Structure 1
Amino acid sequence: MHTVSIVTALLMGLSPVPAADQVQTVPCPTTLPAETTCHGGKDTHGAYYSIAVPRNWNGTLVLHTHGGPDLGPPTQDRSTDDLTRWSVLVREGHAWAGSSYRRGGYGTQMAIEDTENLRAQFTRSFGKPRTTLLHGQSWGGNIAAKAAEQHKYDGVLLTNGVLAGGSRGYNYRVDLRVVYQYYCGNHPRPSEPQYPLWMGLREDSTMTGSGLRARLQECAGIESPPAQRTAQQAQNLKDILGVTRLPERTLASHLNFATFTFRDIVHNRLGGRNPFANVGVRYTGSHDDVALNLGVQRFWADPSAVRDLSYDSDVTGSISVPVLSMHAINDPTAFVEHDAAYRASVTHAGNSRYLVQTFTRESEHSALSDSGYAAAVSALATWVKTSRKPTAASVAASCPAFDAKYHQGCFFDPGFTPNSYESKVYPRPGGRHWPALSSVQAELWKRFYPGVGIAP
C-alpha cells in the first residue's frame, strides 16, 4: 500500500462529469430573500448539493467550497448549512451553489472535482451564468486557490483561507502534537500501545473527541477557570501555548485536528506514509527550552508522502483571473499569516497583478461580518466586469454602504500587512527560510532524502 500515491488514493474512482439528474426544489433557509428558489439533492458520486437562485438573479453564480474537512459521511445538512451561512451572497442578487463533497476526510482534488460537477449541473439546469465566481472558506480556501490553477473561473474570493497548502499548512499542528505529548504524556498514555505522533492516532483507535478533550483537561485544565487549575496544569498550559503560539480558546480544536484529521491523512489518504517532519526545529517559549528540545519526539517525512500531499493541495500562484482575499487579523484557527504564504506564492509566479488582499479587525474564523462579505464580493465582481483592480482601501471605503443594509459593522484595516508565514510557524528543513545545514546535517539529509534539494 505504501507505493500507492495520493494521486491514486485521493482520486480513485473519479470519473467524468455524471449524467444530468433532476434537481429537486426544496424549502429555502429562512435567511434567504423571499421568492428565492432553492434546490437540493445528491449527485451520482454521492455528493449532496444545495442551489439557490434569487428571483432577480443578476447572472452571477457563486460556487462555494467549504472548509473542514468533515470526517463523517456527507449529508444534505452540510450544504444547507453553508447556504444559510453565506446567504448574504444570495441577498446580493447572486445564485449560489455548494457541494458537501462525496465523502468525509481530506482530499483537495476530490473536492475540486465535486465542485466542478456541481457547476456543470447548475449550467444544465439553469443555463450558463454570465459570471462565475468561486468562493472558498477555510480549507475551502485551499480548495478554491488550487482549483483556480486548474479550471477557468471569472474571479475567486478567498475568506479566512488555509493558503499555505497541505505540505506545510499544518506544521503548527504537528508542533502541537509533539509538544502536547512532551508535557502531558497521555496521548497515548504509557500503558497504551505506542505509535509515532505524526500518525495523529492509531488507525484502529476508538478514541472520541470527548475522550481527547478529557485528556486535555486532565493535563492542562483547559475547561477549568484559571483559579481552579492545579499548579502543574497551569504550567503545562503556559508551556504548550508559549511554544506553539496557539490561542487558548482554540487549543482543543487544533489538537482535535492534529489527532483525527492527521489519522485520516496518513492512514486513509497516504497509505500509512508520513508527510510531516520536525527534525531540526528548535522550539522556544517554554520554561525550559533545552529540556523540551532534547525530549520532544522527532521524525523525518517520507519524501513520497510530501510529494503526494503537495500534489493534492499545495498552491503555486499560477493564477490568471482576479483573486480577492479577506482574512480576519486575529483568526484563531487559520492564522492571517496564511495570506502571506499565498502572496509569496503568487508573487514568485509573477502574478501579483491578479491578487488583492484585504484584512479585517475581527477575531473569528468561521464567519465574519455580512457587510464585509458584501463589500468584498461586490469589489471582486466589479473588477471582473471592468478590469479595474480594487485596492484594500477602496474595498474598505465601499463597506459602509453595505453596512447600511446589513448592520453588522465594517472592520477592514487597509493598512495591515501580515508578517511572513515563517514568523508564525517554525520552518522546516528544505524550506526557503531554513538556516544553512551543517556538513553533518547535509550528509544525513542526502542519505535519507536522495534527490531532494537542500535550501541554501
Structure 2
Amino acid sequence: MSEVPMFTSRPLHARPPALAVFVAAVAGLLAGCASLPSPSPVARPSPATATAPAVPAQAAPAASPCPGAVAAIARCLSGQDSAGAFYLIAVPHGWNGHLVLHAHGGPTLGAPKVERAVEDLERWQIMVRAGYAWAGSTFRQGGVEVRAAAEDTERLRQIFEQHVARPQRTILHGQSWGAGVAAKGAEMFRRTADGKRPYDAVLLTSGVLAGGTRSYDFRTDLRVVYQHLCHNHPRPAEVQYPLHIGLPADAAMTQADLTARVNECLGLDKPASERTPEQQRKVQTIVNVVRIPASSIQGHMNWATFHFRDVVQYRTGGASPFGNQGVVYQGSADDAALNAAVLRYRADPQAVARFAHDTDPTGSIPVPVLTVKGVDDPTAFVELDAQFKATMEQGGSGNRLVQTFTRHGTHSYLSDPTYPTLINALLRWVDEGTKPTPQGIASDCVALEARYGKGCAFMPGYVPAALSTRVPDRDRP
C-alpha cells in the first residue's frame, strides 16, 4: 500500500498473483467503460447541510471479479464515480440486507488508485463474511481533505441505492483517519431528498477523532524534538524552512530519502542492541518526550513531513495550522535545555480556522455512534477518544455515543470477532432502541468467537484520560 504507514490499515503481505490479476481485471473494466463520465468537481455543502444533495447521474457499476478473500462468498461490482473516485462493492450471496459503507484510513497522497479499494475490501472481509454488503471509495483525491472524502462516501451510498439495492440499514464505518471522515459525513448529511436518514448508525474504529487542529499536535512536537537531536531534516547546509510546514512545496525529498536520514540519526533500521549508544539515547529521548513507541517514529515523521506539506500547500492557503508555542516538553535527560533549544512556531489563525472547518467534528450527529479503540494504539492515541466524547457532549449528541476499548496494542485491525459484535450492537440500538453497554458488548463478543475465532479483548471499565495528559497543551489562536 502506498499510503504513509501511520494511518494505514493492517499491513498486507506482498500482493499475491491472484490479487494482481484481480486489480488488472478491474482496471481493464474501468478503462473500457466509455459511459463513465469524466471527473468533475462536486459542489461542497455548507457546514449546516441537512439534506444529502443529489449527485450527478452516475454510471452503473460493472460486474467484476471479487478479490480472493471473498471470491467464493460474494459478487463484486466496481466503477469510477462522476468526481473521479474509484469504488468497489461486494454483496455476499447470503446478504442480510444491510450495508456497511466504508471510509478508509490514511489518507494516501497522490491520485486515487483502484488498488486502494481492493486492499480495503480484503482487509475488511469480515464484514462480508458476516453477511453485510460492503462498499468502499478510494476518494477522488489524495491528501488531507475530510469534507471531500465525506462527499465521495455519500456519493457511493447513492450509487449503491440507485444501481444495487436499497439496504434495510446503512452503517457508516470510518477507520483511523476515515473515522474523522465518517463523523464529518454524519454531521453533513442528515437527511436524504425523501426525508430519510442516509445513515442509520456510525461505527468509528481506531479513530483519529480530535480533529485536525488537535490530533496532529504531537507530530509537530516530533519534528522539533527530532531536529534538535538530529539536525538533518533539514541539514545545516540546506535551505532552512519552518518545520511546521512539513516540507517546502518544491522540495524533491522522497520517503526513501527521509527514511535514510532518520536511520542515519536514529538507527531505526537496526535492532536496539545494534544501535550506537548515541542513537539509542536519541531514540529514547523521542520515546519519552513525544510518547510514541520507537517502531512508529518513522511513520509519524513521514506524516509530519509529507502530509503536513499537503495540508499547508493545498488546504490552508500556504500557512500552517500547526504550532508548538507554549509547549513544555518533559521526559528528556535535561528538559530545561530541551525547552530552551527546540524551535518554536505559532499556528496561523486563518489556517487553523480553515483546517478546523474541514476536519474538526462538531459533535452534532443525529444517529447512534459506537467507537472502539485499542488502549495501546500507537497511532491514534486512546486519549483522542476522551476529546471526542467531550466534543459529542458539547455538540448535543453525548447520549448517542457509546465508547468501547480493548487490550489490543494495534491500530490497523483489532480482531475478527470485534467488528461483527459492534455492528450487531448498533443494529439492536437502531431497531430495538436498546442502547449497548461496554459490558454487554464484551459478553456478546465472547459468544461470537465460536463463529469468527478468538480475539475478543474488550475492557468494559476502561476510561481514557484527557488528551492533554498525553499531548501537552499549547497556545492556540
Q: TM-score, normalising length from structure 2?
A: 0.86
Partner of 2:65: 27
Alignment of 1:300-315 (within 5 A): 300-315=346-361
- The residue type equivalent to 1:121 in the other structure is I
Question: Which of 232, 237, 261 is the aligned partner of 1:191?
Answer: 237
Partner of 2:181: 143
Deviations 1:117-155 (A, max 9, x none): 111111110232111110000000011111111113110
**Structure 2 SS opposite 1:428:** coil
How many angstroms does 1:20 deviate by? 2.0
Q: Distance in 2 between matches of 1:133 and 1:374?
A: 12
How many angstroms does 1:211 deviate by? 1.3
1:33–1:91 CA contact under 8 A, matched in 2: no
Deviations 1:276-315 (A, max 9, x none): 1111111111111111111111111111100000000101
2:154–2:185 CA contact under 8 A, matched in 1: no
Aligned length: 420
Question: Which of 114, 119, 136 is the aligned partner of 1:76?
Answer: 114
Q: Distance in 2 between matches of 1:279 and 1:20?
A: 48
Question: Which of 299, 324, 327 is the aligned partner of 1:278?
Answer: 324
- The residue type equivalent to 1:44 in the other structure is S
2:224–2:343 CA contact under 8 A, matched in 1: yes
Q: Distance in 1 between matches of 2:139 and 2:439?
A: 36
Partner of 2:195: none
**2:42 matches 1:14:** yes
How many angstroms does 1:347 deviate by? 1.7
Q: Distance in 1 between matches of 2:387 and 2:267?
A: 34
2:225–2:342 CA contact under 8 A, matched in 1: yes
Partner of 1:214: 260
Q: Distance in 1 between matches of 2:308 and 2:216?
A: 9
Partner of 1:86: 124
Question: Which of 52, 62, 79 is the aligned partner of 1:41?
Answer: 79
Partner of 2:283: 237
**2:139 matches 1:101:** yes
**Structure 1 SS opposite 2:213:** coil
1:28–1:37 CA contact under 8 A, matched in 2: yes
Q: Distance in 2 between matches of 1:191 and 1:408?
A: 54
Q: Distance in 1 between matches of 2:146 and 2:178?
A: 9
How many angstroms does 1:35 deviate by? 4.3
How many angstroms does 1:324 deviate by? 0.4
Q: TM-score, normalising length from structure 1?
A: 0.90
CA RMSD, 1 decimal: 1.3
Partner of 1:441: none
Q: Distance in 2 between matches of 1:43 and 1:253?
A: 31
Question: Which of 119, 131, 135 is the aligned partner of 2:169?
Answer: 131
Q: Distance in 2 between matches of 1:32 and 1:174?
A: 41
Please list every run of 5 or more consecutive structure 1 residues that lacks an aligned counterpart in the other structure: 1-11, 431-448, 450-456
Question: Which of 249, 253, 257 is the aligned partner of 2:295?
Answer: 249
Partner of 2:35: none
Q: Distance in 1 between matches of 2:367 and 2:174?
A: 15
**2:360 matches 1:322:** no
- The residue type equivalent to 2:436 in the other structure is P
1:41–1:76 CA contact under 8 A, matched in 2: no
Question: Could you say if the C-alpha distance between residues 35 and 281 of structure 1 is closer, same or farther in structure 2, counting changes exceeding 3 Å?
Answer: closer
Question: Which of 427, 430, 433 is the aligned partner of 1:387?
Answer: 433
**Structure 2 SS opposite 1:238:** helix
Please list every run of 5 or more consecutive structure 2 residues that lacks an aligned counterpart in the other structure: 1-39, 44-53, 191-198
Deviations 1:378-403 (A, max 9, x none): 11111111111010000000012221
Alignment of 1:51-450 (within 5 A): 51-152=89-190, 153-430=199-476
1:102–1:114 CA contact under 8 A, matched in 2: yes
